[in-house]
Amino acid sequence: MNNLKNELQDRYYTEGFISNFLAIIIGIITALVFVAYDQVTYYFTTLFFNTPNNSLPIYIILLPAAGGLCVGLISYKFMKKSRCGVAEIVEATALQGGKIKSKFAFYEVFLSMISICTGGSVGKEAPGILAGTGVGATVADLLKSPDNRFRTLIACGASGGIAAAFHAPLAGVVFVVEVILGELQTRTLIPVVLSSVFSTLVTDIIFGIQPIQVSYYGMESPFREPVLYIIMGLLAGIVAAIFIKCTYLTQDSFEKLPIKPYLKPALGGLVVGCIGYFYPQIFGIGYDVIKQSLNNELAMQMLLILLVLKIVAFAFTVGSGGSGGAIVPALFAGSMLGGGFGKLVNYIFPLSTAPAGAYALVGMGAVFAGVVHAPLTAMLILFELTRDYSLILPLMLTCVISNVISTHLHEESIYTELLRRRGHVIRAGTEVNVMESLTVRDNMVRDVLFLNVKDTAANLLNLMHKSKHAGFPVLDNQGKLAGIVTLHDMRDKVKQGELEKPITQIMSKNVVTAYPDESLDIVLKRLAAHDVGRLPVVSRKDRITLIGIITRSDIVKSYDREIVKRMQTGENDNLKPDGR
């Protein structure tokens, strides 16, 4: 009997079996938590915003401000500055073995609920992801899981959250691979898939499958329309970059405001309330407005107005300290952009282009891909939301183009930009070389000691004695870089007694330089390749205007400072207030 028990334990009680079983549990609990969350937000949103004759009372202007005040007070009282969003989950999986504090994740879900119920212009997917990761972290904590399992269970929660929010199990899995983990491994993939599948099963049992109902769309002209979709992909990439930049510009502006932190979300909510009083379509999640765009029910002027106002309303909601997701607002902006573009091409080419709703559908995926830098997730979410395969080719084309353009205009996604500002450059789920995140501009010496072309070896020797430095740039009479001279040059080219030898006969004229926007990683490799100890830093405009100097020792000191700083701020890092 004991032998059978031991054999069963050896066969089934493995890391893979444990992770898969826990993934199913996490998927089910995540779905139940999200269902409760969704029902509460639906009830209060209906209560506040479904009024007779669709006429909103004047107090509606103050409702988002009241919600913002609640968010500000709760976060200030219970979370201090430790907010938790999708960016923090990416940071945790890349740098901390997936370990997050589950209570902060659940706090953020509650704050997102308040934001959405009171008209905050945000999405519901971030609360879904946070609910899932909170469940995953709780299970991992209770079982005292090792780092590798902790990270896997966090990923399972995130996958289950996306699956529950969009009824999109495939997109949930791919989102985790593209955004959260940045990698694909079999030991991680299987539990992530199981969590996503069971989360979707539970939400479908309770809600039923609810894809967005749209008319059938296809390409009318296989020769002309691909060109039009390429143009729309370019526009979507530009809009996505504006979406990200506007969000962080607003956040920077609110950080500079000399008012109490808990009042800032209220101020942002007041702006949203003023916009929403005249254009209530920007309140909350906005699925109904997206459906109107997909079904060609909005005029072109209204589509373009809502495109701009949604970006502004989202920026003021989260930039001021509100909570909620960025995916649905990105889908909203994309549908407005695509719908407007579709109406324009319908006017120009009325007989050879698909209805505007087709372009709205494709635009949703394109802007989402550019904002999150996850083109495959964007394709799958649109496919699973609509259950329509007919536009998969233009969808793939525009998502890829939008992602390329957005990345070119703004290298970081809406999630990783927050981490970059904290000094973490995350790629493929891991932090890149610390040196790559440090720039020459921030670490060079600006007060440079230099020599003039009229100086002599005596001047060089005197400057070396006074400064204890072993090399100096040489400037011409116009103050431009003419060369560099070092102790090595002095030894090789100046004989005893030749102190009046012109510096122009000693210096090296082929100067290796650095630019202020280059990373220390690049500069360190350049120093090694040319076997030199210092590089003059020059302007990119003319390459001879000296603006600083950087040495090997400067780089080493900067690296040491950064490592110490990250160690000191590791667990107590003051996180930015947002739920993205």
Tell me: do 423 and 506 sit in the same domain: no
Which amino acid, one-letter code, is at 6?
N
Burial per residue of 373-412, b for 16 or more beta-carbon CB atoms within 10 angstroms, e otherwise: bbbbbbbbbbbbbbebeebebbbbbbbbbbbbbbbeebeb
Residue that finishes a domain, picked among 399, 431, 463: 431
The reply to whether 379 and 411 lie within a common domain is yes
Let me know if 7 is exposed, middle or buried by CB neighbors in 10 A (0-12, 13-18, 19+): exposed
* DSSP helix/strand/coil, 430: strand
What's the CATH code of the domain at 496?
Answer: 3.10.580.10
Domain membership flag for residue 219: no
For residues 515 and 439, the answer to whether their CB atoms sit within 8 Å is no
Model pLDDT, residue 188? 83
- Residue 354 resides in a domain: yes
**Total of domains in the chain:** 3
* Domain final residue, candidates 142, 173, 207: 207
Q: Which stretch of DSSP H or E encloses residue 534? A: strand 534-538
Contact 100, 435 (CB under 8 A): no
The 10s digit of each residue's pLDDT in 420-462 is 776 666 666 555 566 776 788 888 999 899 999 999 988 988 9
pTM of the model as a whole: 0.76
Averaged pLDDT score across all residues of the chain: 86
* One domain for residues 63 and 172: yes
pLDDT at 224: 79
Q: Is residue 446 part of a domain?
A: no
CATH number of the domain bearing residue 368: 1.10.3080.10
CB 504 within 8 A of CB 520: no
CB atoms within 10 A of CB 510: 7
Tell me how far apart the alpha carbons of residues 577 and 250 are, in angstroms, rounded to a whole number: 12
Q: Are residues 378 and 284 in the same domain?
A: yes
User: What Cα–Cα distance (Å) separates residue 31 from each residue in 20, 36, 167, 205, 281?
Assistant: 17, 9, 10, 10, 28
* Residue 414 in domain: yes
Task: Tell me whether residue 282 is in a domain.
Answer: yes
Residues of the domain holding 423? 225-431
Residue 573 lies in a domain: no
Quote the CA–CA distance of 283 and 257 in Å, as a whole number: 25
218: in domain = no
Q: Are residues 137 and 239 in the same domain?
A: no
The enclosing H or E element of 535 equals strand 534-538
**Would you state the pLDDT for residue 99?**
76
**Domain co-membership, 9 together with 123:** yes
What pLDDT, on a 0 to 100 scale, did the predictor assign at position 58?
Answer: 83
- Residue 499 CA to its chain's centroid (Å): 59
Q: In Å, how far from its chain's centre is CA 325? A: 12
Instruction: Write the single-letter amino acid at 352.
Output: S
Contact 222, 293 (CB under 8 A): no
Same domain for 333 and 411? yes
- Lookup: tokens for 240: 């996505």
Q: Are the C-beta atoms of 267 and 71 separated by less than 8 Å?
A: no
User: What ranges make up the beta strands (E) of 407-488?
Assistant: 426-427, 430-431, 451-452, 471-475, 481-486
Task: Of 323, 246, 313, 287, give the one whose Cα is nearest residue 67.
Answer: 323
Residues of the chain whose pLDDT is less than 50?
8, 569-579
The residue among 352, 363, 389, 347 whose CA lies nearest residue 233 is 363
Q: Are residues 267 and 378 in the same domain?
A: yes
| Statement to judge: residues 103 and 42 lie in one domain | yes
Domain-ending residue, one of 396, 431, 466: 431
Structure confidence at residue 297 (pLDDT): 92
Backbone angles phi, psi at 545, to 5 degrees: -85, 115
What is the rounded distance in angstroms from the CA atom of residue 435 to the CA atom of residue 283?
43
Burial profile 466-490: b = 16 or more Cβ within 10 angstroms, e = fewer: eeebebbbbbeeeeebbbbbbeebb
User: Is the same domain home to 402 and 469?
Assistant: no
For residue 552, give the amino acid letter: R
> Do residues 527 and 387 share a domain?
no
3-state secondary structure 98-159: CCCCHHHHHHHHHHHHHHHHCCCCCECHHHHHHHHHHHHHHHHHHCCCCHHHHHHHHHHHHH
Structural domain includes residue 440: no
359-401 pLDDT tens trace: 999 999 999 999 999 999 999 988 888 777 778 889 999 999 9
Looking at the structure, do residues 59 and 169 belong to the same domain, yes or no? yes
Q: What is the pLDDT of residue 11?
A: 58
